[in-house]
Amino acid sequence: MRVTALFYILIIAGINCSPRGQQAEVPKGRISASEILRKNLMATGGLEAHKALENLVATGDFHLGSTHRMGDYKFSYKAPSNDMLQIDMISHGTTWIGHRGEQPIKRTTVNGARMINGVSMEIVERDWRTLLEWDFCCDYSRIELIGMGDADKRPAYALRFTPKHGDPFVCFYDRETFLLVRTDQVQRFRMNEKEREAVYKIETYFRDYRIQGAIKLPRVIAIPRTQGELVFELSKVKPGEVISDSIFQ
């Protein structure tokens, strides 16, 4: 899938549209980006609960549409900045995507799936890191409120995050609950060095939040695709699980 340069500019500029194609409203009132993030942390367990989270292991399965089960996943987090997403795809191999501090980790077995239906596993790993993030002072050069609009049929504030490294992305926070309901990320892909890079937007939706230990997490992470939603469904969360440093190699 290829997009025009103009569409890419719209993505990184944060001029995102609602599902009905309406441009996001200019925010009114005095709420700031920092206040929205503070309220999001409160809604998901509080700043102290997020700070106290040292280790977490989340497991579940993923499927396309409502019936086509594709495999299992495991996300491991070890404070302050190590994480690993493991994807085990049926009849394929295993893929690991994560970070050891600021160092990206990417490895796969033969036939491991780095992309599924046009979605790289880096997108999913970034979504998980966003859910657990609480210290925004070091990784971003700017976080700004850019508008309001609908996200999964909910009115939401849109914040654009500009990392010190990598593409900007946009997070939508429910205007009533302040839970994260959607992210928009830039997907880049090319088959080989000779091909032109494809650049397009990936939307992720977060649904069915529940308390998991001391923090609240969504049980469903859904990414709309042409063939149906690519859904990562959470089955079990183990806060405090012992995690070996060896998995972040």
167 or 191: which leads in pLDDT: 167
For every residue of 32-78, DSSP letters joined together read: -HHHHHHHHHHHTT-HHHHHH--EEEEEEEEEETTTEEEEEEEEEEE
Q: What's residue 27's pLDDT? A: 56
Structural domains counted in the chain:
1
Q: What's residue 206's pLDDT? A: 98
Measured in degrees and rounded to the nearest 5, phi and psi for residue 28 equal: -115, 160
Q: What's residue 25's pLDDT? A: 59
pLDDT digits (tens, 9 = 90+) for 178-221: 999 999 999 998 877 778 889 999 999 999 999 999 999 999 99
Q: What's residue 220's pLDDT? A: 98
Q: What's residue 29's pLDDT? A: 63
The count of other CB atoms within 10 Å of the CB of residue 18 is: 17
Structural domain of 33: 5-248
Q: What's residue 26's pLDDT? A: 55
Distances, alpha carbon 156 to alpha carbons 17, 79, 100, in Å: 12, 29, 32
The reported pTM is: 0.88
Q: What's residue 67's pLDDT? A: 75
Question: For residue 42, what is the domain's CATH number?
Answer: 2.50.20.10
pLDDT digits (tens, 9 = 90+) for 235-246: 999 999 999 999
Q: What's residue 5's pLDDT? A: 40
pLDDT digits (tens, 9 = 90+) for 18-70: 443 444 555 556 799 999 999 999 999 999 999 999 999 999 999 998 778 99
Q: What's residue 17's pLDDT? A: 40
Residue 146 has pLDDT above 60, yes or no: yes
